[in-house]
Structures are given as C-alpha cells and as structure tokens.
Amino acid sequence: MSGLPPTFVKGFHDEASVRKMTYNRLGKTGLLLSQLSIGGGTLAPFYENDDEDEAIRAIQYAIKSGVNYIDTAPYYGQGRSEKIIGKALKGIPRQAYYIATKVGRYNMGNTIDEMFDFSAKKTKESIDISLNYLGLESVDILQIHDIEFADSLDIVVNETLPVVEEAKKQGKARFIGVTGYPLEPLKQIILKAPGRFDTVLAYSRYTMLDESLVDYLPFFLEQDLGVICAANHALGLLTNHGAFDWHVAGDDLKKQGRLCGEYCKEQDVELGKLAIWYSAQLKGPATFLVGMATTDIVNINLDSFQNGLNEKESLILTYCLKNFCAKKSHWEGIEIAKLRAAAAKK
C-alpha cells in the first residue's frame, strides 16, 4: 500500500517522504512495514562503524523519512547495537516504529558453545537485558536467532520457544519470529511448531549472488508468516567496500562480489544501491532489511526504493549480473562446520 501508515505521526515525520514509501502487511501480524527497514547488525564493531553519534542521527533520520521497522540483537556488538538504538529512540514517538530483537546468539567466539545458548534460563535473562538496553517495556517482535546452530531444533522448540511465548503473555513482545541463514531448518521448525511463529527472517538468501529464498517463499507465505528478507548486500559482499576479513563465504563467492565492487567503483556507482534495488524486486517479503549506520547510506537506500535506478545504474547492474554473478552460490554450512570443528578440538 501507499499513503500514510498507522505509524505516521503528524509533526514528527517528513510526510512527503512517508508518502513515497511502500508499506506491506507482515503476515498474520497485521503490521504494515516499510519496504525498507533498518538492520542493527552494522552497529556492531565487526562492521567498523565506530561513530555512535552518526549512527544515532542515521536511525532518527530514517524513521522520520518513513522507515518504520528496526531489527537488532544482543549478538550485534554484545549489546552495542541495542544500546545505540535505545539512545536513538529517545524522543521518538513510540507509535512511529516497530522494533524487533532476538535471543539465542550472543558472543563472538571460536566455538558454538561460546556463541550460542538456547537454554530457557539464558533466554529469560536475555529478554530483560535487551528491553533495558532499548529503553522499552516491550518489543513488537521477539525472534529466536540463527536456529541452525542449536544442537537440535527440539531444544529450540522445547526450551527457547516456551520462554519467548511466556514473554509474549507478559506483554514484553507482541509477536514471535525465527531467523537463520539455511532455509531448510526454518521450514522444519515451523513444521515442528505449527502456528507458533508469526514471522521468519532469512538473510542473504535473495541477492545478486543467491536466490535460494524463491524455493521456500511459497511455503512461508502459505503459513501466513511475515517474511523479512535481510542482508541483501550479502553481509558486505555486495558493496563498494567489499567483504570484511571475517566473512565466511568461499573464495569464489568473495571474488564475484569483489569484481562487482571494483567495476562499480570504476563507474562511480555504489554497488550497495544496485544490490538492494535488485533484492527489493522480489514479491512476497514484507520488508527488506539493510544496515544503515550513516545518513549517507540511508539516503542511498531511500533513493533506491523511492526512485529506482537510473539508466547508467541499470546498465551496470545488468553487466554485473551477466559477467560476475551468473553462477549463483552461497556459504551455507561453512560457518557451522568451522565452529563445530573448533568445539570438537576442545
């Protein structure tokens, strides 16, 4: 839909910008989300965005411009992302945005045990810590983070999910979601817990490099789940900056991204703009979640969603897809295998 969404607050928003934004129903939640949304992952140190004041300005500017959904997690800087977002939200009308955080994935580390904890005890503690960092009494969506790293999906269903459901009963969350990179575990947990999830977030699975989400999207939509399509820059691969050292993709995939970025820089075009526009052409997801830690990046993304690509950018995108991205690929299984191997050595 176009026009003014329920999150519009007269006197706060830039009404002209809000009217340019598209808003979509998030599955059975009934929430109307802006097609472009804010990802809090880039507020973590591993993205090297250390200007907190600029990040706060970017978040506030994006919300005033009509972006009404924010996603964060304890894992993003071990609370740093939640704290920065909490500061940014001070003074912003609560009506003006929807917000989600997560449980299950926490610390940076070298093994699965150091990074993940799906236990009931940790989940309960995490929810209250996140609300404190955000300065809120409740979030709109509470998500179980990267379920593929759990020892089994049964642990998620029997330990994590009941605590999240109890938090919902207590008014600490309105809806419940699940996130992950591999798509099959997302499908399987939804089948294991029918009707208990409201949203599903898949990241980097519909990009210039990988379109795997297409195979699972009909299932998610048939369940009336709100689909959140995240990390359309493939965790930095599809930007002029390029992949960070920590990126787990294989060399071939990194090479595809690097060649795209180098070509775009030569042509004085930002690959990130092309990447988010490309992903946003997919019909079905309610929103496309992207990190926006600076006002410049917010403007690039707003321009992509509101105005599309110009002729030069369209030609460059076509060239990149044909010459560098023809071989669709992903990094599924690489990270989990590395972490399990490290755990086995301990």
pLDDT 10s digits, 165-201: 999 999 999 999 999 999 999 999 999 999 999 999 9
pLDDT digits (tens, 9 = 90+) for 92-116: 999 999 999 999 999 877 778 889 9
Write down the mean pLDDT value for the chain: 96
The Cα–Cα gap between 126 and 132 comes to 10
Residue 70 has pLDDT above 60, yes or no: yes
Q: Say which amino acid occupies 117.
A: D
What are the residues whose beta carbons fall under 8 Å from the beta carbon of 158, sequence distance 6 or more? Answer: none
The catalytic position among 23, 69, 75, 76 is 76
For the segment 208-258, what is each residue's pLDDT rounded down to a tens digit? 999 999 999 999 999 999 999 999 999 999 999 999 999 999 999 999 999
- pLDDT band (50, 70, 90) for residue 342: confident
Q: Does the active-site annotation cover 23?
A: no
What integer pLDDT is reported at residue 5 of this predicted model? 98
Q: Find out whether 213 and 225 touch, Cβ atoms under 8 Å.
A: no
Q: pTM score, two decimals?
A: 0.96
Band of the pLDDT at 2, cuts 50, 70, 90? Answer: low
Other residues' Cβ atoms within 10 Å of the Cβ of residue 128: 11
Average pLDDT over residues 81-92: 97
- Across the range 83-97, mean pLDDT stands at 97
- Domains, in order of start, for the chain: 15-345 (3.20.20.100)
pLDDT of residue 269 exceeding 70, the answer is yes
Across residues 154-160, what is the average pLDDT? Answer: 98
Contact 253, 331 (CB under 8 A): yes
Amino acid at 338: K
pLDDT in tens, 281-337: 999 999 999 999 999 999 999 999 999 999 999 999 999 999 999 889 999 999 999
| pLDDT at site 11 | 97
Q: For the chain, give me the number of helices (H) and strands (E)? A: 14, 10
- Cβ contacts of 97 within 8 Å, gap of 6 or more: 7, 63, 68, 69, 70, 89
**Parallel, antiparallel, or unpaired: how do β-strands 23-25 and 32-34 relate?**
antiparallel
Spatial separation of the C-alpha atoms in residues 295 and 52, rounded to whole Å:
12
- Token pair 């050595």 in the structure block, residue: 345
Residue 1 has pLDDT above 70, yes or no: no
